[in-house]
Structure 1
């Protein structure tokens, strides 16, 4: 009897796995290299190559690679997370700069980001709930002291931000995954009685602040901008000179489970995705442990957002922490919610390591389970702003408001090697490299095409094998170059 019981249990356990395999087979055409060519798109330092089609290659029979060869190995049958998208943030700063451009330059800019053919095909969009440092000044959507939120309105955003978001949605074909983040509650709701320099949310305003999110979502959706979700607080462990608010892990957990989650559900917004943390990789594991291990809080959390600024302490990016969250809580999603190159310097518009920072982070984050990746400001001016506290930074595209010209940085093209060729709902597949000079990741698109991104971190051009099962092709990548291979 015991043996029969064990066999029945094994069958029952295998059914979900088998069903998932069958579902994936329906979602994706079975992958084969037979008859396929490899289109190689390249961007490289000191070369006139920017997302340029540089080669069309064919596959041949692969032999056992030697240790002296450099190889990239792709195993299409080993599939992981589903790809959600890539994008950037439309802040007040981006919108104010955009408004200063000529109509022709506005069209060029929108196509550059949101048109898949003419540009790099962004599909995610983050925005702020009232002001951040990348605004011309601090503001909220209510009159100071209005605990009941009777004066709530988004009129401030109608001048610059809302028109730009609507234009982005239109250029993207009518659909963008839009989510929002607050930098600080209104001054009167906080312990330090100001929006800047940290402070905490006072307990007596927990409900008012939870209702504020719901009002924001409804106001934006009334304007024809569907909100996919929100993060609870931008950088909840940072006391900044700009808009900021501190939440311990326990405080964020309790605000989520006792106020924000129930409030959104009560307001008919229970389908909105709530993203916790929204801060650096250094402390993300502790935050995940605290929130996701609490069933009542966890049921409201879609997943975790994270940034890349943990290097402020002098160390290197902590990519393994992303993987460790994914391993510990595989049912939760991971979303990169913000990254930019700090300390703007106009002499470094074309500084190649800035772009390589993007490539390195994106490859590592995706390989560690991240489903989507969101850059910070999509546009800033020739000063790295506007920013009302002088925290000037880089964006992938800058506009010189004196000349009206757009300046494309290498970071724009590095991001494009992912966003242009990886489609929504693609599955990441197993990819590895035989030398640390190369980084790589691959996604199988729903149309059956594979997109493999390869990045060369070295000072020398490299010849490498791309090996898929018993087939291979040989590729040359320039020094400090990045390629997307589509096949």
Structure 2
């Protein structure tokens, strides 16, 4: 059940970080959450040095963690507008404040409308404007940019990646926002590449540096909301022959990532949406591959993560959109999200991005899909409710940029991720079972024991 938190209580994590007093180093400290009790101190006790552990934290592996974040959507900002100025500031503090609950550092921005925009728009709906002379981000100055600037005021080093849900309609066949594909000729591809360049430049002029662009949101799927289907071959052509060269000519430092991929699917589309139809095919194209600096997966893309890591360990990988639920914001779905996080992190993802940070009750999109959010704002009461996935993500947010994953082993490795910081280790440990369990852990010459209630999640800090 979601609980209404005191919006004025911006809780700082009272756990050891680099530079914390060494007096806290003798035994791990622990914070625990269950469905009805959030962020509670929990005891950890010593265990015998010669114990056979249920969990062992080993050596470091993989790349450095880049961060946690969410997506800036118009409906999120309009939901926040229902709060008083002080309550809105408190919510933003808990999302973005340095050292605060979530401390987001790596977020997503839509290029034009997505399904949580107020309605359809692009930044250039003038048919035939191949030079993008009518390009404008005036719409974003109403909702998205105020939202982003409010976040930057709290987290000046916030990093952004951007992706379109649909090109301008006149670049598509048929010319509609919510299905179809980009017209596959050089003139239209060049115009679309110029659209990206103009977006990056326009946002830079607003003080927002876009560090990455991802050419297409969910290219596997045609949707009733803004979408555009692109094959792997089309993505390779667009990146290698148009988008990459356009960014180079403009002298922009923005990276191109292959994202945000939502295949392979496991339904009837499985025959044409495998790893080899998208990431594999695109990265085999030399022109495209030389421009690609990373890969982003979401939804059914999770099935291609392991193949991608095996084939391209040199490329960083992120999860770009958390699966959204049904608007009921249950602890059960939060537990599913924990499984998603576990899957991505043990396969060396270096970033994880939530979807809607803030919504009104039921979380209904403009196109009629109810979805979960970290925080719900009720227009009737003008109060913010912190939902189960907020409390869950707060545990994982203890993993900070620059940390490196430690290899977990023994039976409880399937329910734990651990990362080493300069001054210690953060471990997030879950009990996925319906009964309480006692777990013995070893790390760095220490042995300790923790009793976890049923369906509990704990964050431990080891100095």
Does the pair score TM above 0.5? Answer: yes
Select which of 29, 32, 49 maps to 1:42.
32
Match of 1:156 in 2: 139
- CA deviations 1:350-388 (Å, max 9, x no partner) are x21111111111112111110100011111111313x22
Measured after TM superposition, the shift of residue 435 of structure 1 is 4.6
Match of 1:367 in 2: 346
Contact 2:436–2:451 (CA under 8 A) maintained in structure 1 = yes
Match of 1:230 in 2: 213
Measured after TM superposition, the shift of residue 64 of structure 1 is 4.2
Structure 1 stretches of 4+ with a deviation exceeding 4 A read 32-35, 58-61
- 1:397 equivalent in alignment to 2:375: yes
Match of 2:449 in 1: 474
Within 5 Å, which residues of 2 pair with 1:380-459?
A: 380-385=359-364, 387-419=365-397, 421-435=398-412, 439-445=415-421, 447-459=422-434
Match of 1:52 in 2: 40
Task: Provide the TM-score with structure 1 as the length reference.
Answer: 0.84
Q: Extract unaligned runs of 5+ from structure 1.
A: 1-27, 311-316
- 1:295 equivalent in alignment to 2:286: yes
- CA deviations 1:336-359 (Å, max 9, x no partner) are 000232332xxx33x211111111
SS at match of 1:482: strand
Measured after TM superposition, the shift of residue 470 of structure 1 is 3.7
SS at match of 2:320: strand
Select which of 87, 91, 98 maps to 1:105.
87
Task: Provide the TM-score with structure 2 as the length reference.
Answer: 0.89
Select which of 31, 46, 49 maps to 1:62.
49
Measured after TM superposition, the shift of residue 324 of structure 1 is 2.0
SS at match of 1:228: strand
For the pair shown, the structure with the greater C-alpha radius of gyration is 1
Contact 2:408–2:418 (CA under 8 A) maintained in structure 1 = yes
1: CA distance, partners of 2:449 / 2:47: 9
Measured after TM superposition, the shift of residue 294 of structure 1 is 2.1
Contact 1:238–1:244 (CA under 8 A) maintained in structure 2 = yes
- CA deviations 1:103-128 (Å, max 9, x no partner) are 01211111111124342211111010
1: CA distance, partners of 2:153 / 2:254: 22
Contact 1:63–1:470 (CA under 8 A) maintained in structure 2 = no
Within 5 Å, which residues of 2 pair with 1:233-244?
A: 233-244=216-227
Contact 1:198–1:243 (CA under 8 A) maintained in structure 2 = no
1: CA distance, partners of 2:183 / 2:366: 23
Match of 2:112 in 1: 130
SS at match of 2:419: strand
- CA deviations 1:21-80 (Å, max 9, x no partner) are xxxxxxx99xx999532110111124x2x223223x465552141xxxx611101x3422
The 1:201/1:101 distance shift into structure 2, 3 A limit, reads farther
SS at match of 2:260: strand
Q: Extract unaligned runs of 5+ from structure 2.
A: 1-17, 265-272
Measured after TM superposition, the shift of residue 186 of structure 1 is 0.9
1: CA distance, partners of 2:86 / 2:447: 45
